[in-house]
Amino acid sequence: MPNKLKIKELEIIKDEIGPVFILETYDPKLNFTGYLVIDNLNLGVGKGGIRMTPNVSSLEIFRLARAMTFKNALAELPFGGSKAGIAVDPTLISLEKKRAIIESFSRALRPFVPKHYIAGPDINTSEREMQWFAEANGSWRSATGKPANYCMDIFGKGEKKCGIPHEFGSTGFGVVQALKVAAEFADVDIKNATAAIAGFGNVGTFAMKHLDEIGVKTVAVSDRQGTIYNPKGIDYKKLMSIKDSGKSILEYKDAKQIGREAIYELKVDVLIPAATPDVVNETNYKKVKAKIIVEGANIPMQEKYEEYFHKNGTLIVPDIIANAGGVISSYAEYRGYNPKRMFETVEAKIKKNVRTILAASKKENRSPRKVAMDIAKKRILSIKSRVL
């Protein structure tokens, strides 16, 4: 699978940005290894989710933490960049053991949380795990993405702050806001556009929901088992009914089943990689036919492939802009916003950032990522680190 490829040329980079801390934890009783990379703290406390996957590594967590550094800077949030990971296959353990692992990891990170790092949901962690993490840490501020019914009294104000779970779909919502702007630059008629969504988790499901609302026809969807394809479109409600029952999307009857990786080669207007890293890679990048790629997942491809697409006329909206809805939602929870204000903030920030970066990309004939990185670096390096 693409996300398991060994990418020899990649390594943890140590430069003027970071990383400030690279931590590895181990629990001998529960037999798991955890990782935390706090990349940069210039703009504020480190922010990034915790993923739980069997093959997660310190290199993967560093790459994700660096992406969060730039993502938070571009969204003009008072956060630095961080990421955490737990090397466990959650499908092979009980719910009780998963909770014990999350709680153990939280306790191990107490010297850094919430002083230098605030957790959030990611692959195989959700609002439930964020409540476990916060309770084990002992601080409300140790995690965002907590359940909406998990609240804290605001001392002396007679009010409550409550969680804003990522299960509200802020990331998928933001991906579609990014697409709305990108379609204008790519001269794609949004109401007659077709889309393929690679990955049908929290990001992919909500991306499809909001695509459906604006008239984009989703013709292909993939999960771990494979891809379903129907050029006439896939019914969102029927597909969600199957997913909600715990079954694979391959149970959907009104579509053809094709290989999991075949989704990247379909002729569609929009491709949304919405799951794991490096799904577009040396094996398939020349076969991608989409006019627009909106990166719903973190680091779905290396920068060199983005440069290839830019030179060949495919418009890329990089992850550090396109999928910032999740961390903007985290900021909203951190500030005590209600969900309505959260969605308004996500839409405003993402549309503004995508428009600014794509306009500069077009004017300067540079890839959107290069433009975005320059902006982010200037913001980050103009302020000294707050860690010392």
CATH class as words, domain 170-326+353-369: alpha beta
Q: What is the pTM of this model?
A: 0.85
**pLDDT digits 0-9 by tens, 189-200:** 999 999 999 999
**3 state DSSP class of 29:** coil
Give the domain ranges of the chain.
17-164, 170-326+353-369
Catalytic residues: 83
Task: Compute the distance between CA of residue 257 and CA of residue 244 in angstroms, rounded to an integer.
Answer: 20
Q: Is the pLDDT of residue 259 over 50?
A: yes
Q: What is the mean pLDDT of the chain?
A: 93
Average pLDDT, integer, range 211-222: 97
For residue 152, what pLDDT is reported? 82
365 alpha carbon, distance to own chain's centre: 27
- 10 pLDDT higher than 80: no
Question: Residue 9: pLDDT band by 50, 70, 90 thresholds?
Answer: low
Nearest in space to 61 (alpha carbons), one of 80, 35, 90, 26? 35
- Topology given in CATH for the domain delimited by 17-164: Rossmann fold (3.40.50)
Q: How far apart are CA 21 and CA 137, in angstroms?
A: 19
The residue to which tokens 């996300």 are assigned: 3
Q: Do domains 17-164 and 170-326+353-369 have the same CATH topology?
A: yes
Instruction: Say what the pLDDT of residue 387 is.
Output: 53
Assess whether pLDDT exceeds 50 at residue 5: no
Predicted local confidence at residue 2, as pLDDT: 39
